[in-house]
Structure 1
Amino acid sequence: MPQDLPSLDQRIAHAQSLRAAELKKIFGVYGFFYQTQLAGEPQPCRSVLTLVRHGVTPEPLSGLEALPPDLLVVMMNPGSSRPLQRDDAPTEISQLDQLLKRHWVATQPDNTQYQIMRVMEGMGYRHARVLNISDLRETKSPLLIKKVEYLAKQDGGGLHSLFHPQRRGELQNLMGDDPHIPVIVGWGRHKGLLPLAHQALDALQGWRLIGQQTEEDPALYAHPSPMLQRMKDAWLDKMMRMIDATETGKD
């Protein structure tokens, strides 16, 4: 590494020091929100979120489709994610092919997304796409697990997951065709997620996965934003070192 560039340790320390207000000055957040019927009930969803440096954000936002990501992230579900403007109504979806016609809107960032921004800043990335093993916008994890388990027993109920076999074309469209891009996996440690986790890992075979496996099960990966700050810092340190090791050919 040239002497005038910061070392990995310096970049990690800088990334860990960044607060939300600073990160919002560097990155914009945009998502595609939709609503669909599953098991006869309307379900609010989000299929993708994108984090982009302000200097490369396209205008109009439809240009995000053609902007290749430097980083892919797969997490549990959108949680409390919502459009920045509350009057941005979600797109009504009745057929799977409608999910390919994405309407991007500015999105309110949260603590988890700030963690991904820190990785991006530390590694010099300009564009990350965030996907989830479930599109369901449920803020409470226990309720999400119950809903996922219920939908799994219903005809077509599993289509809330981007990794469902019937949505593989949409998934490929979002991920692109460069398997060398790092893919951070961090959907958490709840065993109720195992069916969705295995489905995602099957679809991600051949990709460069970066994640911290949990003691509960090797298919479960630590969430990027645990409650304690020291654990947030530890996760960030580990992810950046793992990415750096795979990029430089280290063991």
Structure 2
Amino acid sequence: MISGKILNEQFVVMAKFEYRQFEVHQVLIRSEARILRRGTQIPEDLSNRKANALIVMQNPGSCLPKEELKDEWQESIPDKTQYQLMRLMERMNWDELIIVNLSDMCEGDSFEFKRLLKICELQNVPNSRYAKNIQDFIDMTELVDYVIYGWGSRPEAKRLAMEHGFLPIEGLKLNGKEPKAYWNKSRDYPRHPFPYLPNRCEEWLNEMTAVLKEPKEVSIGEA
């Protein structure tokens, strides 16, 4: 379990942010983030750039830009989940990872997040770049070698995944790539990379690495 201090020396998180109005609330939106190994040349625009893998998470949580908001790609403050993804990148010897979400709203409080989701539903406002547009996501998988699911156990995450077309994965064709995950067999969801407990964090890394390195396709029931 490499420390955050060392990981900050090895990787940088870049993201695109904007503010969007939901009812009377101005909400920070992050449509995409990328973790890059330091030493990699970082262009001004990272869009449509090839990477090693893409992971789908629930939402960006309390993610924030490192400096004042800009209308361009900018460095983001890493969180504990992103540190976990950096550790996975180290194990897989990856240089770049794309992070996209079922919802693009940067809200770390689960109750407030659910409330904002309800507002979006009532106003018929899409809160994700992939809402009702799975083809856009499928096109993006052309950029990577692996597609990973890691949105966790919350019911709202599963509902969004179903609505957006990320589930069920049976028969879902992502340019020939089957989504990979460390699945919870009994409750049928892809485990989140950061389950808080240190031993569970290491377990996710071990299991996810094994799934990614497995030569055959892994089904939900095998996790």
TM-score tier, shorter chain, comes to 0.7 to 0.9
Higher helix share: 1
TM-score, normalised to structure 1, is 0.76
Letter in 2 for 1:160: N
- RMSD across aligned C-alpha pairs, in angstroms? 2.4
Question: Offset at 1:191?
Answer: 1.1
Q: Percent identity?
A: 25
Displacement of 1:224 in angstroms is 0.6
Tell me, which stretches of 5 or more residues in structure 2 are unaligned?
Answer: 219-223
| One of 55, 59, 62 as aligned partner of 1:73 | 55
Paired position in structure 2 for 1:185: 149
- Aligned pair count? 212
Residue 206 (structure 1) aligned to one of 169, 173, 189: 173
Partner of 1:54: 38
TM-score by structure 2 length?
Answer: 0.85
Q: Which amino acid is the alignment partner of residue 125 of structure 1?
A: W
Deviation at 1:197?
1.5
Q: Which has the larger radius of gyration?
A: 1
Q: 1:36 aligns with which of 20, 32, 36?
A: 20
Matched-pair contact (CA < 8 Å) for 1:68–1:176: no
Give the aligned residue type for 1:209.
Answer: P
Query: Partner amino acid for 1:187?
Result: W
Listed as ranges, the matches of 1:98-137 within 5 Å are 103-137=72-106
Partner Cα separation in structure 2 for residue 120 and residue 151 of structure 1: 34
Q: 1-side partners of 2:19 and 2:217: how far apart?
A: 44
- 1:79 to 1:183, Cα distance in 2 relative to 1, 3 A: same
Match for residue 236 of structure 1? 205
Residue 161 (1) aligns with residue 128 (2): yes
In structure 2, what is the Cα distance between the partners aligned to 1:136 and 1:119?
25
1:163: how far off?
1.9
Q: Could you tell me which residue of structure 1 aligns to residue 161 of structure 2?
A: 197
